[in-house]
Chain A
Amino acid sequence: MPPSICAVCKTNRALILRPKDHSKLCKPCFINVFEAEIHHTIISTNLFQRGERIAIGASGGKDSTVLASVLKTLNERYDYGLDLILLSIDEGIKGYRDDSLETVKRNAQQYDMSLTILGYAELYGWTMDQVVEQVGKKGNCTYCGVFRRQALDRGASRLGVKHVVTGHNADDVAETVLMNLLRGDLPRLSRTTSIVTSTPSLTPSSGPVADNTNIKRSKPLKYAYEKEIVLYAYHKRLDYFSTECIYSPEAFRGSARALIKNLERVRPSAILDVVRSGEDMARLVPGSDEGCGGACGSGAAVPAEEEEGGCGSAVGKSMASVESQLAANERAAEHNLETEILSKPAKPTPPPSATSTKGQKKPRAERTGGPKKKGPTKQVMGQCKKCGYLSSQEVCKACVLLEGLNKNRPKNKIEVGYEVQDVSLNSVRDELEAATLAAEG
């Protein structure tokens, strides 16, 4: 068999089987294509503005390291005119964060970017190790997720930065789309695929609250496959730290993640296809005026309180706890429904417009259209009474959690997790080896 020739340059020998579409590429062409796609994402969504100061949320992991490297490259190559800096959050987890922060420090030197490290201890008075000591290993991801979201914004505002980019990749987005379908979370479904999420600007706040309520968040890698990120890091010999958090993994996300990995095996484009579906579905969510899924460009920034969450946040619930909650809702709804239906007149399926307001009941049972239903309740954003952070409640989640911690007794019920298999990076690496074509004779 003759050696494969790169599908792009048609000269070099192909050494890489591209995970996204299984095209055979040589190393320089792969690097080019990968960078070109991210450039395309940035340009087509008008993601950045000249002179903008951008904080890269850096964890030392593969995603944020690749993000920093690619942004530096593209910023120089295409003269974006960006001022790039690194922002790291130290959750205070010994044996996990210490090492990855060392990596971030080296990255700062390698990329010649300034680095700010902000600790949970400093921000909240608690390190994650201390939180875990208090609440145990199960359920601590809720704390970590809630704290981290605010931490990045707070860090950014301290640095006078209005835009934070994170390393969320296509696998993460696809996973979140499926997860939100499984959890039945339409509001999040309509937000999750947007490339930009931002805390909407509030009326000038009263009082001396930190200006951390108007930070733009974006994910330039939203169309980049995790496997390609690993390949890029490998071929560019990037210095990153790979480990997983030593505390419990998210059960629910784990289930969606396993599904995504299986899908990718069956059809490589599937991850991208889920992202596309997610963008399209965002427009179909009732009452979503913003849900253009990032396809309509820069103008679309959607509220970002605790959305994709990475790990942690409300999303960290176990399947079992979601199940029991749903089952309870179902039983409650069932009783209403049964009485409701009895009073219903027999009619042939009415055309969509005819249902209008005559039917006194909510058109819950039939999907014939009818009056435009009110969408899922929109979040009304205000500010936390305690810390001034953007919140849909009077007191933001972080402050609620902190209060519980400080009282020596967590207020939020901690759920017993149901362990679902978790796909570790190792399996990604195994496949990486398979993906790199052996040099053929």
Chain B
Amino acid sequence: MPGKTTDGAAGGICRRCKENVSVLVVRLEPLCQECFARYVHTKAIKRLETFRVDFHTNEERKVLLPLSFGVSSTTLLHILDLHLKTQMSKTGRTGFALSMVAIRNAEQSPHTEDLLEEVRNQYPGHEYASLPLHDVFRVIPDDAALRDLIPEYTKGEPPKDQEQLARLINSLTSATARADVLSTLRARLIVEHAKSTGCQSILWGDSTTTLAEKTLAETCKGRGFSLPWQVADGKSPFGVYFHYPLRDVLKKELVSYIGFAESGLSSLVHEPFSGATQASTSSKNTTIDDLMKQYFESVEENFPSIVSNVVRTSSKLEVPAGAESDPRCGLCDMPVPGGRFGIHGWGGYQQDGIETAAVVGKNVCYGCTRSLPPSATTTTRI
């Protein structure tokens, strides 16, 4: 679905430069290849005003770009690399230094290393790191609430990080829960990595489309309370700043961009193709994230403004007052307003008819409680 290369567009004149032949229609404007590339760049760079070259300081700002080797994060790297080169040639210095991190799952480790090596060859001169996901248990403190969620975790002899991750994931009972917890852990590891390597900001690769997906997916997973921190640019509750430079670019536009860019870029993209998300919804393996991906991939085709409107809307939600002192969720680490943990104790409380024993809840937010098995979030009082 690379853009809208309608017959009407091809062969016409570019609406912007009025010289070249247009190659695709972007939000009703026929554009040539060059103007389209500039359009994508401008959209991204515009979001990075705070990272201009600063002549008043010699302090180097370092930003972290998490790489998934998908369309968005790889394109973001490509654009930032170009941007830094431009800054260098114009001013002799750069506004920031770029550091990349790739998180690998146990089963795909060697693959990740190879991919990262290719990327490093293509875009040299930056920092690169790859971390296994189970490192999250290495970087969090020993007494972190996260460890309490691991089944049969005893304080005496802590199992290896790998073992902790495996136990946690194996305790989850649905595909949605596994996908949810994995992405939560990935985000926590990235944040910890940013802090430990001196990065003040994380530049997430999300496009308009994936941010819209995230907005609805988190809403559907009961995490509406945390949306101000999930999609908005600015200070995160974790001590680093979050930025989404591609928030104004649609996924399909990025796909088109890669299609037009030199072949070096497209060869670096290894995204599980959307075919994977077209799986039937009755499948047990479908996740809420998949569902939203499918939904917005189809909405994006004909109603791109609805997609961007979702993101604009959710970005308007305000961080509640006093959030800094709110207690944190043991899994996602988000501040939970008023410490309203768990799935009980609200209007929609339901008798679950499962157990009536006196339970003491662990400090896990509503959304994370839905993902964890009941035994993980409660401990029976003896």
Q: Which A positions have Cβ atoms within 8 angstroms of B?
A: 7-8, 18, 20-21, 23, 25, 29, 33, 36-37, 40-41, 44-45, 170, 177-178, 181-186, 189, 195, 222-223, 259, 262-263, 265-267, 269-270, 272-281, 283-286, 294-295, 319-320, 322-324, 326-327, 329-331, 337, 341, 344, 346-349, 351-352, 365-369, 372-373
Contact = CB atoms under 8 A, between A and B. Distances in A.
Contacts of B319: 284, 369
A69 B106 CA distance: 56
- Interface size range of chain B in the complex: 35 or more
Contacts of B222: 269, 272-274, 276-277
Interface in B325-359: 337, 343, 346-354
Contacts of B122: none
Contact of B351 (A33, A262, A283, A324): A33
A189 B219 CA distance: 12
A107 B22 CA distance: 66
A177 B219 contact: yes
A184 B347 contact: no
B238 interface: no
B380 interface: no
Nearest to B311: A184
Given A323-B303, A341-B46, A280 B318 contact: no
B181 to A, nearest CB: 14
Contact of B282 (A265, A270, A320): A265
Given A40-B349, A275-B348, A286 B221 contact: no
A274 B309 contact: no
Contacts of A33: 351, 353
A187 to B, nearest CB: 11
Nearest to B289: A266
B287 interface: yes
Contacts of A25: 353
Given A284-B317, A366-B234, A274 B220 contact: yes
Identify the 9 closest CB pairs spanning chains A and B, nearest first. A277-B224, A346-B52, A273-B222, A326-B305, A367-B232, A280-B225, A184-B313, A368-B234, A284-B317
Given A182-B310, A276-B222, A327 B28 contact: yes
A324 B243 CA distance: 29
Interface of B: 27-28, 46-47, 49-50, 52-54, 61, 95, 174, 176, 200-201, 215-216, 218-225, 227-228, 232-235, 241, 243, 281-282, 286-288, 291, 295, 299, 302-306, 308-310, 312-320, 337, 343, 346-354, 366-367, 370
B197 to A, nearest CB: 18
A273 B50 CA distance: 37
A181 B308 contact: no
A346 B50 contact: yes
A292 to B, nearest CB: 11
Nearest to A264: B220
A283 B320 contact: yes
B301 to A, nearest CB: 11
Contact of A295 (B28, B174, B228, B347): B347
B291 A266 contact: yes
A7 B305 contact: no
Which of A29, A327, A372 gathers most chain B CB within 10 Å? A327
A39 to B, nearest CB: 11
A330 B305 contact: yes
B226 to A, nearest CB: 9
B288 A267 contact: yes
Given A277-B225, A286-B317, 5 more contacts: A7-B353, A263-B220, A284-B227, A286-B316, A286-B318
7 contacts: A181-B310, A263-B288, A279-B347, A284-B224, A285-B316, A319-B299, A326-B309
Given A181-B215, A181-B219, A186 B366 contact: no
Contacts of B308: 326, 330
A266 B287 contact: yes
A377 to B, nearest CB: 13
Contacts of A21: 350, 352-353
Contacts of A275: 348
B303 A36 contact: no
Contact of A277 (B219, B299, B318, B350): B219
A272 B348 contact: yes
A367 B233 contact: yes
B288 A281 contact: no
A78 B215 CA distance: 41
A352 B52 CA distance: 19
Contacts of A294: 347
B106 to A, nearest CB: 26
B240 to A, nearest CB: 10
A189 to B, nearest CB: 8
